[in-house]
C-alpha cells in the first residue's frame, strides 16, 4: 500500500516540502551503467520475443498458402508476434538470428567486464602513484608515530570506495550473464521441443504409410521399384509380410495395377522421399543449433562460476578491509595519544636548533 499521498498531506499541514519522486534517467548514469542497461534491454526483448512466438514456433501445422508481408530475415526479431503459423524457413531464420544476438550480447558482456577491470586497475595505479609522491605527507605520518607504508584514513576510504564500486559492477555483470544464460536456455528448450515434434511427426507419417500394401519395387518409369507407396485407387490394404517375391507375383501385380496406378505409386514414393530428406535436413540443422547454443551456455556457466567466486572474494575483502580500517583508526588514535620516539626526537631536534640559534645571537 502506497502511503506517500497521506505522508505528503501531513507534511503540507506542517509547512514542510512534500516528497517528490526522483526522476530516473539512464543518461545521467556513468558509461558502465548505461551500457549495462542497454544490454539488459536487449536480453529482455529477446526473451519476451521467444516466449511470444513459442506457440507458432512449436506448431507442426502447415501454414496457409497465402503470403505474408513480412521480412523473413528477421533483422530485429519482431516480425512474428501476430503470426499464428510459421514456415520452416521462418523458424530457421528465427534460430539463426537468436543465436547471432546471443553471441553478440555475450561478446558485449565480456568487453564490459574487461573495461570495468581496466578502470579499476587504472584507478588503483593512480592512487599508488599519488601515494608514492606523498613527500612531506609520508614524513608527517612517520613523525606522528605511524609507519611510512601506513595508509591515511582518506586513503583507506578511497580504497574502500573503489572496492565497493568494483563489487557493485561485478554483481551487475553477474546478473546480466545469468539473465543471458536464461535467454539461451529458453531458445535451447524451444529448439529441443521442435526437434522432438518433427521426429514424432515423421514417425506418424511413416506409420500411416505402412498401413497400405505397396509394390516393393515401383520405379518412376512405371516398372516395379523399391519403397512404400500411399493409398491407391483400389486401396490395397493389409501388411506385406514377404519381401523379394518371385517373378510370378510381380507379373500379377503388374497385371492388377494399370499404368496410372503405377505412376501414382512412383509419385508418392518421390514425395515421401523428399519429405524425409527435408525432415532429415531440419533435424541436422536443429542439432547443429543445439550444439552451438550448448557451447555458449557452457561458456556462460564457466563465466558465472568465475564471477561468483570473484564476488565472494570481494565480499570477504570488504569485510576484512572494514575490520582493518577500524583497527587502523584505533591504532592511530592510540599513537596520537602516547609520546612516540620519533616525536620526541623531532621535538628535541627543534629545541636544540632553537637553543643554538639563541646562543649564537647572544654571543
Rounded distance between C-alpha atoms, residue 79 and residue 76, angstroms = 8
pLDDT of amino acid 138: 52
Rounded distance between C-alpha atoms, residue 319 and residue 306, angstroms = 20
Rounded distance between C-alpha atoms, residue 337 and residue 80, angstroms = 75
pLDDT of amino acid 47: 92
Q: What is the mean pLDDT of the chain?
A: 72
Unique residue bearing C-alpha cell 582493518: 324
pLDDT of amino acid 157: 82
Unique residue bearing C-alpha cell 536456455: 185
Residue 7: name the closest of 20, 22, 25 by CA: 20
Q: Which residues, given as ranges, of the chain have pLDDT below 50?
A: 67-76, 144-145, 147-148, 212-246
pLDDT of amino acid 225: 43
Q: Looking at the whole model, is its pTM more than 0.75?
A: no
pLDDT of amino acid 41: 93
Residue count (the chain): 363
Which pLDDT tens digit goes with each residue over 40-71?
A: 999 999 999 999 998 888 887 766 655 444 44
* 174 φ/ψ angles, rounded to the nearest 5 degrees: -60, -45
Q: How many CA atoms lie within 13 A of 244 on its CB side?
A: 0
> Domains of the chain (ranges plus CATH)?
29-61+71-192+297-341 (1.20.1050)
pLDDT of amino acid 234: 42
Q: How many CA atoms lie within 13 A of 272 on its CB side?
A: 20
Calculate Rg over the CA atoms of the chain. Answer: 39
Rounded distance between C-alpha atoms, residue 112 and residue 335, angstroms = 44
pLDDT of amino acid 220: 41
Rounded distance between C-alpha atoms, residue 152 and residue 243, angstroms = 94
pLDDT of amino acid 294: 72
Neighbours of 294 (CB within 10 A): 12
Q: How many CA atoms lie within 13 A of 213 on its CB side?
A: 12
The DSSP-derived string for 185-219 is: HHHHHHHHHHHHHHHHHHHHHHHHHTTB---SB--
Provide the terminal-to-terminal Cα distance of the chain, rounded to the nearest Å: 88
pLDDT of amino acid 91: 83
pLDDT of amino acid 224: 40
pLDDT of amino acid 141: 53
Amino acid at each position: 500500500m502506497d502511503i506517500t499521498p497521506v505522508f505528503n498531506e501531513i507534511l503540507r499541514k506542517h509547512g514542510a516540502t512534500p516528497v517528490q519522486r526522483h526522476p530516473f534517467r539512464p543518461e545521467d548514469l556513468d558509461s558502465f551503467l548505461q551500457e549495462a542497461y542497454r544490454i539488459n534491454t536487449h536480453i529482455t526483448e529477446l526473451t519476451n520475443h521467444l516466449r511470444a512466438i513459442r506457440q507458432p514456433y512449436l506448431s507442426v501445422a502447415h501454414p496457409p498458402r497465402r503470403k505474408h508481408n513480412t521480412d523473413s530475415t528477421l533483422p530485429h526479431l519482431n516480425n512474428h508476434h501476430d503470426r499464428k503459423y510459421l514456415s520452416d524457413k521462418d523458424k530457421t531464420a528465427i534460430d539463426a538470428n537468436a543465436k547471432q544476438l546471443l553471441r553478440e550480447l555475450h561478446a558485449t558482456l565480456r568487453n564490459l567486464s574487461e573495461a570495468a577491470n581496466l578502470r579499476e586497475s587504472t584507478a588503483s595505479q593512480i592512487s599508488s602513484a599519488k601515494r608514492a609522491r606523498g613527500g612531506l605527507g609520508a614524513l608527517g605520518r612517520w613523525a606522528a608515530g605511524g609507519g611510512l607504508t601506513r595508509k591515511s584514513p582518506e586513503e583507506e576510504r578511497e580504497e574502500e570506495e573503489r572496492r565497493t564500486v568494483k563489487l557493485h559492477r561485478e554483481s551487475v555483470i553477474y546478473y546480466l550473464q545469468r539473465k543471458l544464460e536464461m535467454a539461451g536456455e529458453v531458445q535451447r528448450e524451444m529448439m529441443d521441443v521442435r526437434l522432438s515434434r518433427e521426429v514424432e511427426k515423421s514417425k506418424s507419417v511413416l506409420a500411416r504409410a505402412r498401413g497400405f500394401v505397396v509394390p516393393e519395387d515401383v520405379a518412376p518409369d512405371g516398372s516395379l521399384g523399391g519403397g512404400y507407396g500411399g493409398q491407391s485407387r483400389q486401396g490395397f490394404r493389409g501388411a506385406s509380410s514377404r519381401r523379394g517375391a518371385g517373378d510370378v507375383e510381380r507379373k500379377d501385380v503388374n497385371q492388377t495395377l494399370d499404368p496410372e496406378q503405377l505412376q501414382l505409386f512412383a509419385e508418392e514414393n518421390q514425395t515421401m522421399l523428399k519429405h524425409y530428406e527435408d525432415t532429415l535436413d531440419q533435424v541436422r540443422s536443429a542439432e547443429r543449433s543445439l550444439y552451438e547454443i550448448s557451447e555458449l551456455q557452457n561458456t556462460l556457466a564457466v563465466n558465472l562460476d568465475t564471477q561468483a567466486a570473484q564476488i565472494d572474494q570481494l565480499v570477504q575483502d570488504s569485510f576484512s578491509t572494514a575490520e582493518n580500517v577500524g583497527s587502523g583508526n584505533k591504532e592511530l588514535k592510540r599513537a596520537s595519544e602516547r609520546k612516540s620516539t620519533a616525536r620526541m626526537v623531532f621535538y628535541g631536534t627543534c629545541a636544540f636548533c632553537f637553543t643554538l640559534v639563541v646562543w649564537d645571537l647572544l654571543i
